[in-house]
Amino acid sequence: MRPFRTIVLALILPAVIIGAEPAIPDGREILRRVDDMWRGNSSAGLMTMQIKTAHWERTLKMKGYSKGKDLSLMRIVYPKSEAGTGTLKVAENIWNYLPKTRRVMKVPSSMMMGSWMGSHFTNDDLVKESRLEDDYDFELVQKKAEDDALLYEITLLPKPEAAVVWGKIVITVLAENFVPILEEFYDEDEKLVRRMTFGNLTVLNDRTVPLSLRIVPVDKPEEYTEIIYDKLLFDIPIEDGFFSLQNLKRR
């Protein structure tokens, strides 16, 4: 009887293994992908930002550039009244330039939660001063969406020594490509403050990226800020000197 049982087990075990769900991956790799989703070695993009509040609406067009983890430059190109306004990040230093007054102002760490151009995005959102894997401890669990798509949910809590702005972040990513579909941000009392959703998933340079993201404040669900990428290029040649205060002031 032993040979017969061995044959049965040999037939059953592969089916069990094939039907098993994939092993949970390294959470650090997922966080790196989320942090660097729109960066690559370098990147350049044209974006439309739509802002809706209870009292007004506005649309901005911006150009954005990045190189590695420490260099980024954002510049408004429309409307004409705001053209030339920009934000520069070099390592941990961040500056804003206002062409109307021709002033460059360094952004202190205490202002990282401040609104950028009246939107629901903060200075920290645009320049990504913090790194998730460096500044947060995390726990990863496996979930399923309503359509049975496999998801990973990562709960992040700040490390005691980390100078970060959020008391907790919960990120939900697609298991097949580690692309986020939802990020939830909590204050120091772990009260939910806002949700960021991602859409229009597109393959660019062999990577899947969302070309739209929307922030909605929990206490004002009728308001939102949405960024839509009209054009996005990866791994293009950009000199480090491009990310300078002198270039920040150029139109």
pLDDT digits over 198-210, tens only?
Answer: 999 999 888 899 9
Q: What is the share, in percent, of the chain residues with pLDDT greater than 90? A: 63
Position 144, amino acid: K
For the segment 36-50, the average pLDDT, to the nearest whole number, is 88
**What pLDDT digit, counting tens, does each position of 122-157 carry?**
877 766 656 788 899 999 999 888 788 899 999 999
pLDDT band at 9 (very low <50, low <70, confident <90, very high): very low
Instruction: Tell me the C-alpha distance between 133 and 129, whole Å.
Output: 13
**Are the CB atoms for 72 and 89 separated by under 8 Å?**
yes
First to last CA, the chain: 83
For the segment 61-71, the average pLDDT, to the nearest whole number, is 92
For the segment 114-122, the average pLDDT, to the nearest whole number, is 88
Average pLDDT, the chain: 87
Instruction: Tell me the C-alpha distance between 91 and 89, whole Å.
Output: 6
Helix (H, G, I), strand (E, B) or coil at 191: coil
Instruction: Tell me the C-alpha distance between 154 and 164, whole Å.
Output: 17
Q: What superfamily would CATH give domain 22-248?
A: Lipoprotein localisation LolA/LolB/LppX (2.50.20.10)
Tokens of 152: 């990973």
- The pLDDT of residue 20 is above 70: no
Using alpha carbons, select from 220, 225, 217, 215 the residue that is nearest to residue 54: 220
Q: Long-range pairs for 214-219 at CB < 8 Å and ≥24 separation?
A: 215/119, 215/120, 215/121, 215/125, 216/120, 217/120, 217/193, 218/192, 218/193, 218/194, 219/193
**Are the CB atoms for 27 and 46 separated by under 8 Å?**
no
Q: How many CA atoms lie within 13 A of 63 on its CB side?
A: 10
State CA 160 to chain mean position distance.
23
For the segment 75-82, the average pLDDT, to the nearest whole number, is 94
- The pLDDT of residue 3 is above 90: no
pLDDT, residue 10, reads 45
pTM of the model: 0.82
